[in-house]
């Protein structure tokens, strides 16, 4: 039987020089140099954010860089505590983005590595679409951050309307918003109805900002998982739906990778739900290439930053050119 593996492994085999440790080493160098510059110019950056006001999406934009480090640290089998550091940094930036938006009259501490910045609250005008908020909620769920979940409850449709790209928000995403809203307020007892309303939206209509493939392979399978876990409370159904969702995730991401879009990430929303399922109900998934079991059972306080890297790593391309030149020189010397 062929061992199930993350689609990134097949990409890595095509060019092991490039995709083994170099990418992660480069991420470490990026973060080391980036944190050094932020720490050095902290006051200037804080002032620039304040001056740019709603136009500044500093926190959300910075968050994205940590996802690659998280994924690559897992692929290269670095300590779990190190992988959690990357994920926590992503969460810190993402949550602060929404703190700034939802509490605009306050300043907010933004933990970055071994220091923190103070960023001004402000109403955002981008990256406040349902999917952005959804990502923040799922990370708060993963980190079991009740305080953050209570804050994120205050996000409303009027906030979505402020986003400069709100005209791309489809009926699916508005229905997704209703599902997450009900997930955050289980006392209403409307989660199952919200999911069924989502599933009833006509797939044959072209929706702005969405593709049929994304809806069918990523979004709907995830909603099936929510339904099984939070509404039906069936362990067997939940595990079946999760495995189906992971199979479809691999299909769409693996297809993108084979076309040159080298996706090496993990399904964070599914990981968040899987941890919640285990921590609250004891439903533990078997170890899976897309959801390593340790992410569901680990101590979230056991976090360790990666070793800083102050020198830019040499790319495999440059290294191979250097080796080829050395071999050529050696041949010429023998002549």
Most confident region among 167-181, 262-276, 317-331 by mean pLDDT: 167-181
User: For residues 133 and 180, what is the distance between their CA atoms, to the nearest angstrom?
Assistant: 9
Please compute the mean of the pLDDT values over residues 224-237 and round it to a whole number. 95
Burial 265-276 (b: 16+ CB within 10 A, else e): bbbbbbbbbbbb
Binned at pLDDT 50, 70 and 90, residue 1 comes out as very low
Helix (H) or strand (E) holding 268: helix 268-281
- Is 50 exceeded by the pLDDT of residue 229? yes
Most confident region among 28-42, 165-179, 268-282, 321-335 by mean pLDDT: 268-282
Q: What is the DSSP string of 11-76?
A: HHHH-HHHHTTHHHHHHHHHHHHHHHHHHHTHHHHHHHHHHHGGG--HHHHHHHHHHHHHHHHHHT
Token code pair at residue 165: 């790209």
Token code pair at residue 286: 């078997």
Q: Residues 198, 170: contact at Cβ < 8 Å?
A: no
Supply the mean pLDDT for the chain.
Answer: 89
Q: pLDDT tens-digit profile of 165-218?
A: 998 898 889 999 999 999 999 999 999 999 999 999 888 776 766 677 888 888
Q: pLDDT tens-digit profile of 53-72?
A: 888 899 999 998 899 899 98
This prediction has a pTM of 0.90
Binned at pLDDT 50, 70 and 90, residue 17 comes out as low
Question: What percent of the chain is predicted at pLDDT more than 70?
Answer: 93
Please compute the mean of the pLDDT values over residues 311-333 and round it to a whole number. 77
- Is 70 exceeded by the pLDDT of residue 262? no
- Is 70 exceeded by the pLDDT of residue 256? no
Token code pair at residue 313: 């790593």
User: For residues 49 and 105, what is the distance between their CA atoms, to the nearest angstrom?
Assistant: 15
């Amino acid at each position: 039987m062929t061992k199930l593996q993350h689609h990134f492994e097949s990409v890595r085999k095509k060019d092991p020089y490039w995709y083994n440790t170099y990418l992660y080493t480069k991420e470490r160098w990026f973060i080391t140099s980036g944190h050094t510059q932020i720490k050095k110019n902290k006051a200037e950056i804080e002032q620039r954010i304040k001056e740019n006001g709603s136009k500044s999406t500093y926190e959300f934009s910075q968050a994205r860089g940590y996802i690659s480090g998280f994924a690559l640290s897992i692929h290269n089998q670095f300590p779990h505590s190190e992988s959690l550091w990357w994920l926590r940094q992503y969460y810190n930036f993402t949550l602060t983005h929404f703190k700034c938006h939802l509490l605009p009259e306050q300043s907010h501490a933004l933990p970055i590595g071994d220091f923190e910045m103070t960023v001004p609250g402000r109403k955002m005008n981008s990256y406040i679409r349902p999917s952005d908020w959804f990502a923040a909620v799922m990370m708060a769920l993963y980190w079991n951050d009740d305080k953050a979940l209570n804050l994120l409850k205050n996000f409303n449709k009027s906030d979505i309307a402020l986003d400069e790209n709100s005209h791309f928000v489809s009926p699916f995403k508005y229905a997704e918003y209703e599902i997450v809203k009900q997930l955050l307020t289980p006392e209403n007892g409307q989660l199952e109805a919200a999911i069924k309303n989502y599933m009833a939206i006509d797939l044959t209509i072209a929706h702005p900002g969405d593709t049929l493939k994304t809806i069918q392979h990523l979004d709907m399978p995830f909603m099936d998982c929510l339904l099984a876990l939070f509404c039906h409370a069936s362990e067997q159904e939940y595990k079946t739906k999760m495995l189906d969702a992971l199979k479809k995730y691999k299909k769409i991401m693996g297809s993108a990778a084979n076309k040159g879009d080298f996706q090496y990430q993990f399904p964070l929303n599914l990981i968040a739900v899987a941890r919640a399922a285990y921590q609250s109900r004891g439903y533990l998934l078997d170890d899976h290439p897309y959801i390593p079991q340790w992410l569901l059972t680990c101590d979230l306080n056991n976090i360790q930053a990666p070793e800083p890297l102050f020198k830019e790593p040499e790319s495999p391309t440059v290294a191979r050119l250097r080796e080829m030149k050395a071999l050529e020189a050696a041949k010429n010397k023998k002549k």
